[in-house]
Chains A and B, each alone.
Chain A
Amino acid sequence: MPSARGPLDATSFPDVLRAAKGGQEWAIEELFIDLQPRLLRFLNGLEAGAADDLAGEVWLAMARGIGGFEGDLTGFRAWVFTIARRRAVDYRRAAGRRPAVPVGTEFFSDRGASSDTAAEVIERLSGQGAIDLITSSLPEEHAELLMLRVLGGLDVLRVAEIMGRSPNWVRVTQHRALRRLAVVLDSAAGDDNSGRRVIPQAEPAISTP
C-alpha cells in the first residue's frame, strides 16, 4: 500500500513530522506506511508471535514522545527502533527465555523446478520471509545487527549505540554476518538438490512464544 504522497524521505520528513506532532492523520499514515512493516519484521525477528503487540506498544510510545522529538529521518528511525528493541527485551525478560525452535528447509521447499536458482527463490520471498530466513541462518546478534542496518536504515554509529557495542564491533560483525549468510544460502541452494539439510540446526534459531 504505497503512500499517495510518495515514499517518506529526508526531504519530506520535516513536514510530515510537524504535521504528525499536531495529530494530523495523513502524516501519521505516512509514518505508519514507512515504519510499520519494518517494525513488524524487526520485532518478528526478535520475538516471533509477539510482534503485533510489541508494535502497538511502540506506536503508543511514539505518540507520547513525538512531541519532544527533534531530528531528521535517520534519527527518527533510530529512535523508533531503540524503543522497539527495548520493548522486545522487556518482553523477553518478562516471559522468560523461550526454547529456540530450529527452522528447517521449508524456505526452499517451494522451488518449482530444479533449474530455479537461489536468487530466484529469494525473489519470491516476502519481506517477512526474508527476515525469517536471516534470523534462522545467523546468530541472534548478527541477525539483529543486519536488521537494524537494513530495516532501520541506520548507520554504523547508530547501530553501535543501540546495541551498546563499539562501531568497530559493528563493522566486523556485519561483515561476518554477510559472509555467513552467503555461505548458508549458497549451501542451501546446492544441498537442497541433493536432499541434505539446508540450514544447520546448531546456530539458527528464532524464538517462539
Chain B
Amino acid sequence: MTDDQIPPLADGLFDGGLAADVAPKGLRSAVSLLNVAGRPGSDAELASMAARVRQFSAEIHAVSNASTRVTRATPVPAPGLLGDAGFCSEASFSPATLRSNPIFATRVTRKALTIVAITMLAAGTAAAAAAAAGVLPVFYEDMPTAVVDNVPTIDDFIHPSNTAPSAPSTVDDRMPGEAPTIVVEVEPVDNPDFHGKCTSWMYVSAAEAINPSFAPLFAAADAAVLTIDEYCTTVLAAPVPADEPLTATKPANDAATDSKPADVSPTVANPAGDPPTAAQPTDEKSKDEKSKDEKSKDEKSKDEKSKDGEHGNGNHDHGKHGHGNR
C-alpha cells in the first residue's frame, strides 16, 4: 500500500473521537474496543491517588527548594585549602541539590575557588616580599603611617592611661607633599626574654628560626607590624633592663634606622659582631653602666614629656614610656 492508497479511515476515526456509529460495519467491534480502552479510570486504578499526590507535591517542593539553595548557596570551598571549616556538611548535599547541581558545575566551582585562593596567597606573598624589599609603590609606602598609628599594642592594654585614642594622628597633621613620618610601635623592650630572644635570633640559622621559643617574638613583631629583624634591632637598641645580664649585641641594622627612636642608643654594642657572651667583665663596669642607663632614662623621660606636650599623641611613645618604672 503506497501513501496515496492509504485510506483516511483510521486517521479520521481516531481524530474524530472513535465514534463506533460512524465507523464502517467491519470495524465497529474494534472501534468499540478502543472506546472501552479509553474509558475513565476506575476506583482501583485511582486507589493510590492520595499517596501519589502527596509524593508529587513533596517532590515539587523539594525541587524548588533545591533550586533556591543552588541559587543562594555559597560556593563550596576547596577541601584542604580552608581547613576543616571549609568542608560542607551532608545537609547541604541533599539528593535534590545533587540532581539539580551537576557534577561538572561543582567541579568548576571548586576549581575556581582553588585558583582564587592560590592567587590570593601568591599576591599576599608578593606584597610581603615587596614590602620587605622596600619596592612598594608610594601609595602603599604611605600606608604604614596610617596603619601603624592606629594599631593597638600590648602596652595599650596593659597601661590604658598611656593611650590617647582620640588623639589626632600625625598623618593628619602632615602638610601636602610632606614626606611621611613613619612611627613604629614596638613591644616593651625591657622584657628580658625579648632581649635574649632577639640576641639569639640574630645568630640563628634558617633552620633554627622555626624554633617555637621564637613564637612570642613573632607575635610581638607582628603586633608592631615589623619584620623580626627590624623589631629585634629596635629591641636590642633599647636600654638593657637592669636585672638582665649584660650581653653583647649585634650592631644595629641600617634598615631599621627609620623605625628606631632617635633618642635611644644601644647601651653596649659589639662592633665586631662577635657572638654574645653571658659573662660580665667586672662588677664595677656594670655599676657604671647601670648609672649611665638611669641617667639616660631620666633624660629620655624628660624629652618625652616635652614631646607629649607638643603633640598630644601618646601612641608614639609606648616604647619609651615607663621603662624605668618596670
Q: How many residues of B contact A (CB 8 A)?
A: 44
Are A171 and B6 touching (Cβ within 8 A)? yes
Of residues 47 through 89 on chain B, the ones whose CB sits less than 8 Å from some CB of chain A are 48-49, 52-57, 59-61, 63-64
Of residues 31 through 53 on chain B, the ones whose CB sits less than 8 Å from some CB of chain A are 31-34, 36-43, 45-46, 48-49, 52-53
Flag whether B99 is at the interface (Cβ < 8 A): yes
CB distance from B12 to the nearest CB of A (A): 11
Of all chain B residues, the one with the shortest Cβ separation from A153 is B38
Flag whether A128 is at the interface (Cβ < 8 A): yes
Are B60 and A175 touching (Cβ within 8 A)? no
CB distance from A127 to the nearest CB of B (A): 4
CB distance from A16 to the nearest CB of B (A): 13
Are A36 and B34 touching (Cβ within 8 A)? no
Q: Among A60, A122, A174, point to the contact of B36 (Cβ < 8 A).
A: A122
Are B45 and A150 touching (Cβ within 8 A)? no
Tell me the complex Cα distance, A40–B28, Å: 25
Are B36 and A125 touching (Cβ within 8 A)? yes
Which B residues are in CB contact (< 8 Å) with A118? 29
Are A28 and B37 touching (Cβ within 8 A)? no
Chain B contact residues: helix, strand, loop or mixed: helix
Flag whether B9 is at the interface (Cβ < 8 A): yes
Q: Mark B1-39, 1 if CB is under 8 A from A, else 0.
A: 101001101110111001000000011111111101111
Q: Mark A119-137, 1 if CB is under 8 A from B, else 0.
A: 1001101111111011000
Of all chain A residues, the one with the shortest Cβ separation from B47 is A1
Are A156 and B57 touching (Cβ within 8 A)? no
Tell me the complex Cα distance, A185–B28, Å: 10
Are B49 and A32 touching (Cβ within 8 A)? yes
Flag whether A172 is at the interface (Cβ < 8 A): yes
Which B residues are in CB contact (< 8 Å) with A80? none
Are A174 and B11 touching (Cβ within 8 A)? yes
CB distance from A145 to the nearest CB of B (A): 10
Are B27 and A150 touching (Cβ within 8 A)? no
CB distance from A1 to the nearest CB of B (A): 5
Q: Among B10, B15, B41, point to the contact of A178 (Cβ < 8 A).
A: B10
Are A28 and B57 touching (Cβ within 8 A)? yes
CB distance from B162 to the nearest CB of A (A): 66
Which A residues are in CB contact (< 8 Å) with B29? 118-119, 122, 182, 185-186, 189
Are A67 and B55 touching (Cβ within 8 A)? no
CB distance from A142 to the nearest CB of B (A): 11
Of all chain B residues, the one with the shortest Cβ separation from A66 is B60
Which B residues are in CB contact (< 8 Å) with A25? 53-54, 57
CB distance from B250 to the nearest CB of A (A): 73
Flag whether A5 is at the interface (Cβ < 8 A): no
Pick the most buried of B32, B37, B39: most chain A CB atoms within 10 A of its CB. Answer: B37
Are A134 and B33 touching (Cβ within 8 A)? yes
